[in-house]
């Protein structure tokens, strides 16, 4: 029951976004906007996980158990970044192969704001 409540609360913002949608194109554009906002945050979290594991590895000198745990954190951070970038590239490749005009609604490359 708790999982259902959490899922419903997590999906609540979708109802607010849905109020001005006239067709499926606007729905897809809205989802794309949400993804473009979330993608840099998720990539940043994966990078943060990698560096957190690196810091733990550096400070775990002499403790083999802590080193193994730090290596796991670094590995999962790298796997997360690889999967996100690979899926992004695969979507871009398939879009070009199918002749989808990607310049009309481009997929933004994640960047760090202010740099």
- In Å, how far from its chain's centre is CA 59? 28
Q: For 19-110, where are the alpha helices, taking DSSP H only?
A: 24-59, 64-97
Q: Would residue 112 count as lying in a domain?
A: no
Q: Rounded CA gap, 76 and 55, in Å?
A: 15
Would residue 29 count as lying in a domain? yes
Per the domain annotation, does 41 fall within a domain? yes
Does the pTM surpass 0.75? The reply is: no
Q: Is residue 110 part of a domain?
A: no
Task: Please give the pLDDT value at position 108.
Answer: 63
Query: Residue 105 above 80 pLDDT?
Result: no
The model's confidence at residue 15, banded by pLDDT at 50, 70 and 90, is low
Please give the structure tokens belonging to residue 44.
Answer: 């940043």
The length of the chain is: 115
Contact by Cβ (8 Å): 74, 50 = yes
**Average pLDDT value over all residues in the chain:** 80
Indicate the number of domains in the chain.
Answer: 1
- Residue 18's pLDDT is 59
- Percentage of the chain exceeding pLDDT 90: 30
Assess if residue 111 is contained within a domain.
no
Query: Is 115 within the bounds of a domain?
Result: no
Q: pLDDT tens for residues 63-85? A: 999 999 999 999 999 999 999 88
Q: Is residue 106 part of a domain?
A: no
Mean pLDDT for the stretch of residues 34-40: 79
Residue that has been written with the tokens 């193994």 in this structure: 68
Is residue 93 a part of any domain in this protein?
A: yes
d(CA 89, CA 107): 10
- For the segment 79-93, the average pLDDT, to the nearest whole number, is 86
Domain that holds residue 12: 2-97
């Amino acid at each position: 029951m708790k999982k259902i409540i959490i899922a419903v609360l997590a999906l609540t913002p979708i109802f607010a976004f849905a109020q001005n949608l006239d067709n499926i194109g606007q729905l897809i554009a809205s989802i794309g906007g949400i993804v473009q906002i979330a993608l840099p945050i998720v990539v940043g979290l994966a990078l943060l996980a990698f560096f957190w594991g690196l810091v733990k590895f550096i400070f775990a000198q002499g403790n083999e158990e802590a080193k193994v745990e730090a290596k796991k954190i670094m590995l999962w951070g790298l796997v997360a970044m690889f999967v996100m970038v690979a899926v992004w590239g695969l979507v871009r490749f398939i879009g070009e192969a199918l002749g989808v005009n990607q310049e009309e609604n481009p997929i933004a490359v994640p960047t760090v704001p202010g740099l």
